[in-house]
Amino acid sequence: MTKQGIVLSLFGRSDVGTTRTNDEDSFVISDLSDSVPIHAMSSTVALRVNERGILVAVSDGMGGAHGGEVASSLVVGALHEGMSTVKASNAEAALRESVEAANLRVVETAQASGHEGMGATLTAVLFHGIYAYIAEIGDSRAYLLRSNRIVQLTRDQSYVQELIDSGSMTREQAEASDYKNVILQAMGLNPNISVPLNRISIRRHDRFLVCSDGLSGKLGDQEMMAIVLQSATLESACSALIALAVDHGSEDDITVVLAQVDGDGAPAMTEPERLSIETSKVFAPH
């Protein structure tokens, strides 16, 4: 019998929402051994994790006058290009170098095109071997769903998150704050960025959710998990997540990418693992 290795089922969708005329979000799904990235989908794809890996990324643009739309598209395009060509010593270094290079591409394009001030968030997940590497700039998020639990794998680089961490504000107060959309880092605003990068060991049947704040700003963790677990397909889960965010009053663009881990090469769960952002066994910062 031929072994499958690790196989990812993937689906993504971006929705302009109810108040905007252009979508400033972008996403990419990429088999890094293939030169054709995926930016829009009509059905789920299954990709085997190869020696170069599988890339999933979401970017939320900002800048007005189509600057945000340009920035987010440029971010995911440049990231895919970098990850497809970089010859770094390991997966972590490749992801970090590619994020930094994509940032410089946006800076240079903004200066050359007169779009100074345009920028974008970026949350990228690289599936390589038995690990998922997560990089983040801004406040788009990545979550892991495992054993009927959900954990946020990213930490918002935002003003209100700093206040939460210092104990000056509760999460409930942050949701109502006028400053909740103020982020401390963005792609394209500064040639020098700090790229937080983490690694997690994947397990068979894990589900990863990567999204812009059009979703995470309106739905709680438990709401998102319930929809994903109750949906028959990844497509229906994405549609239901977006529909509920709109129903909850989201006026922003909404982008969701879901990835499910399968295949005999993915390590099986031997016992339920406690998921906690503080537990280094599950979430190991580098």
Instruction: Give, in degrees to the nearest 5, the angle at Cα 57 between 52 and 58.
Output: 175
- Tell me the C-alpha distance between 19 and 29, whole Å: 27
Total structural domains within the chain: 1
In a domain, 2, yes or no: no
Containing domain of residue 193, as a range? Answer: 7-285
> The CATH number of the domain where 253 resides is what?
3.60.40.10
Q: For the segment 153-210, what is each residue's pLDDT rounded down to a tens digit?
A: 999 887 777 777 777 777 766 666 666 667 889 999 899 999 999 999 999 999 999 9
Q: What's CA 26's distance to the chain center, in Å? A: 10
> Is the residue at 1 inside a domain?
no
pLDDT tens for each residue of 58-82: 999 886 545 778 889 999 999 999 9
Q: DSSP secondary structure string, 102-169?
A: HHHHHHHHHHHHT-TT-EE-EEEEEEETTEEEEEEESS-EEEEEETTEEEE-S---BHHHHHHHHTSS
Its pTM stands at 0.90
Number of neighbours of residue 230 by Cβ within 10 angstroms: 10
Query: Does an H or E element contain 54, and which?
Result: strand 54-62
59 or 20, which is more confident: 59
Residue at 12 is within a domain: yes
Residue 278 confidence class, pLDDT cut points 50, 70, 90: very low
CA dihedral 226, 251, 136, 201 (to 10 degrees): 10
Report the 10 Å Cβ neighbour count for 201.
Answer: 15
Q: What is the pLDDT of residue 113?
A: 77
Question: 3-class SS at 269?
Answer: coil
In the predicted structure, residue 286 carries a pLDDT above the cut 60: no
Domain assignment of residue 201, yes or no: yes
Whether residue 280 is predicted with pLDDT greater than 50 in this model: the reply is no
SS3 210: strand
